[in-house]
Amino acid sequence: MRSYKKIEKQYKSEEIAESFVFSGNTKGRSERLVAFQQFRSQANANAKQSEKDKVIAQLLQLKFLIEDYIK
């Protein structure tokens, strides 16, 4: 508790929480962040598709699943 009070005098509570929760490998964190951003952009692109495009994509997926099953 004593050391926390010393730290609290130097830093804001948000900075303390951020350093505690997100400490660790910054390279791994940045890689995960990039992957998450790609996922979000892909999700946004999928949301903008028309119903016709969505149905075509689902039918193509079904086609490939059936082809794999037959092989």
**Tens digit of pLDDT for each residue in 16-53?**
777 776 556 677 778 888 898 998 888 888 788 888 98
Domain extent for 43: 2-70
Residue 3 has pLDDT above 60, yes or no: yes
> Total domain count for the chain?
1
Would you state the pLDDT for residue 62? 95
Q: DSSP alpha helices (H): ranges in 1-71?
A: 2-10, 13-21, 26-47, 51-70
Q: Which residues contact 49 (CB under 8 A, 6 or more apart)?
A: 57
Would you state the pLDDT for residue 2? 64
Rounded average pLDDT over 7-20: 82
Q: What pTM was estimated for this model as a whole?
A: 0.39
Would you state the pLDDT for residue 65? 94
Q: What angle do CA 48, 53, 57 make, to 5 degrees?
A: 115
